[in-house]
Structure 1
Amino acid sequence: MGPTIPYLNEWLELSRSGKFDKAQEIYFEKLFASVIDVFKESNANLLPKGGVLFSILGYSPEPIILTANTIEPDVHIIFTTNNKSEGSSYMEKYLGSDYETIYLQEDTFEIIYKALKEQLLLHPTSHVTLDITGGKKSMVASAAIFGKDYGCKIVYVDFKEYIKDLRKPLPGSEVLNIVYDPFKDQPELFIK
């Protein structure tokens, strides 16, 4: 088990007893700030700060919040097909207003790729991180192809410990994995 996370046992008890609404309230109101701190500290030197962060959002805002708080992007754009405001209050609480959300009508390759490309044209830089943790598999696959095509660092929020009966990672065990780094994985692309 990793670092001590306050209210973890209370969250576990509520979750396992089926009191999911109360567990979620405890998680975001009392526990998640510590999870962010642990994540930032353990991943602080993995990626440079700043640049542009593209995030794929499904229904769980936690990975987006963790990545954004760790790399502190200059520009953060979230892509989602989820037109509901589920999780948006937590994103506002932990990200402030330092992000833009792009709502996509469909999760087709063409729509996702085009939306990512449009935002890259609006925010030109060679320092783009693409967080593919959330979203439907079709969105993630399309985003990953875009990321490779345009030389983005592709990241995924994973975990070291998993609570099988709750089907959730143990809070505080989250880790940032670099799935693809063009400078490391294909340096031949940058030889002049």
Structure 2
Amino acid sequence: MLQDQERWNQLQEAWARYKEAVGAGGNPQALYQEMVWPHLLELWRHAPPVSPERMVFRASLHTLGTSPEATALAILGTGAQEVYVLHTEESRRFLERLRQDTGVMIYPIEIGKSDVTAIYREVRKLLERYPEEPVALDVTSGTKAMSAGLAAAGFFFRRFFPKVKVVYVDNEDYDVALRRPRAGSEKLIVLPDPHEVGGEVDWLFASELYGKEDFAGAASYFNRLVGATGNQAYTLYQNLAEMYRAWRALDFKEAARKAESLLEALRKNVWLQHPLNRHFQRLEGQASLLKGARDLLTTGDLGNRRGVLGVAATLLHQSGRLADRDQTTLAALYAYRALELLLQERLRRYGRLAEAPELSPEEREALQGELGRILPGEEVPRVREKLGLLEVLAFLRVLGDPLLASWNVRDLQGLAGVLKARNQALLVHGLQVPSARQVEQVAGLARKLLQDLQREVGLQPDLEAIPLPR
């Protein structure tokens, strides 16, 4: 520390002599290089001033313009093991001086003075070389395009390489008469990451992921916001995202728990003005739907029509999303299960269960005949003790179900072919991938049953995510 103070004192004395010499008519640039610069370099080699604190960097990348002094200080301030310098054809001549001033090995990279694309490419290469180690990007010198491009790259790639830092050399005292910073007032600034300042950037990332229905990713960012800002209001957004994550994963028990927890929080005085309270009624409706679905899965009671509605609507919703992404195999499974569940619920209205239908001889014969109409030209399968989907559908027609009885037999014949293809699907028993048309045939019939159940229950299920405030 004593030696550092001595170096500081020597620098201030040199600066005072320099001002006198310039005042006496000497050449400012030549005198600075002779009288001040060696002392400033000596100070920065041993104790570079860094704000908020000095860091250890594995590598640093600098932009070099036609005034290399600031770049030299930045190289000494970062103290990286490997130093890369972006330069133009014009600033190439200063590379050797940089090596002499800093005493370090420099790896030069020549780019066009406005070639921002090249900067992005070089930053990515460097960060991929050291993905888990601190890397400094110095934007002090170079053209405006170089500095802006390097800063933009640094803050963008920070999302994927969290240890990258953007730095620059600043000064606290500028001598207007000499048109340069007072020697010793310079320091290296390590810029705070946008994620660390108020949480605005994390909120944008969370909102982006939430809008894409990556609810797990959004919840993670909301959790970070709580830690970064101390604002507990973000916990409610985290809870909301976790509710939808569980819901989309068909974890109705967890989704219902999150929904009830969120509603309980929003009822408290401290959160009455929370933006999510604008959607309290919608959240209540979704919580009720989730509770019904949870109870259905817990009890297996098909008489829980609200629960059947919630589960079937969710399955069809997810089937549609999967179909939109051309994931037809998964979409078919969701649609098939929705159709099966809705048919089982209708059979329950007649006091029958698919796994134990208790058919009378007359009913068995009538069911056999109905299956023959749906499967013309084929050997009619023997009616089993447990009814499959097609058998449930046919039996409901036998029982006089008004909706099923109104369906055209030709449509049901097409459905029979689709169901046969379903059993041969890759994720069931075979090696086939269902077509988008086959998925829509199953989903279309399921939607008709769902709409009828909605009328019966008097409920329009709301499955869309609550919008976040802008």
Give the TM-score, by structure 2 length. Answer: 0.36
Higher strand share: 1
**2:291 corresponds to which residue?**
none
Mapped partners of 1:46, 1:63: distance in 2: 19
Cα shift at 1:177: 1.9
Question: 1:53 is paired with a residue of what secondary structure?
Answer: strand
Mapped partners of 2:81, 2:166: distance in 1: 17
Q: Which structure 2 residues correspond to residues 84-99 of structure 1 after superposition, within 5 A?
A: 84-99=91-106
1:166 aligns with 2:178: yes
**1:145 corresponds to which residue?**
152
Mapped partners of 1:159, 1:76: distance in 2: 23
1:67–1:176: 8 Å Cα contact kept in structure 2? Answer: yes
1:14–1:23: 8 Å Cα contact kept in structure 2? Answer: no
2:50–2:189: 8 Å Cα contact kept in structure 1? Answer: no
Greater relative CO (CA pairs within 8 A, separation 6+): 1
1:37-85 deviation line (CA, Å, top 9, x unaligned): 5861x32871421322111111222222223223321221111115445
CA gap of 1:184–1:113, structure 2 versus 1, over 3 A, is same
1:179 aligns with 2:186: no
1:39–1:174: 8 Å Cα contact kept in structure 2? Answer: no
Mapped partners of 2:77, 2:52: distance in 1: 9
Cα shift at 1:86: 4.3
1:21 aligns with 2:33: no
Which moves more between the two structures, 148-157 or 43-52? 43-52
Letter paired with 2:85: I
Q: Which structure 2 residues correspond to residues 20-169 of structure 1 after superposition, within 5 A?
A: 20-28=29-37, 30-36=38-44, 40=48, 42-43=49-50, 46-151=53-158, 152-169=164-181
Higher helix share: 2
Question: 2:191 is paired with a residue of what secondary structure?
Answer: strand
2:65–2:143: 8 Å Cα contact kept in structure 1? Answer: yes
1:39–1:66: 8 Å Cα contact kept in structure 2? Answer: no
2:52–2:190: 8 Å Cα contact kept in structure 1? Answer: no
Mapped partners of 1:177, 1:91: distance in 2: 20
> Between the two proteins, what is the percent identity of the paired residues?
22
1:109–1:138: 8 Å Cα contact kept in structure 2? Answer: yes
Give the TM-score, by structure 1 length. Answer: 0.80
Mapped partners of 1:161, 1:145: distance in 2: 27
List structure 1 segments (4+ residues) > 4 angstroms apart after TM superposition.
Answer: 186-192
Letter paired with 1:102: I
Letter paired with 2:171: F
Mapped partners of 1:73, 1:130: distance in 2: 11
| Gaps in structure 1 of 5+ consecutive residues | none
| Gaps in structure 2 of 5+ consecutive residues | 159-163, 206-219, 225-470
1:155–1:180: 8 Å Cα contact kept in structure 2? Answer: no
Which moves more between the two structures, 111-120 or 180-189? 180-189
CA gap of 1:109–1:50, structure 2 versus 1, over 3 A, is closer
Letter paired with 1:36: W
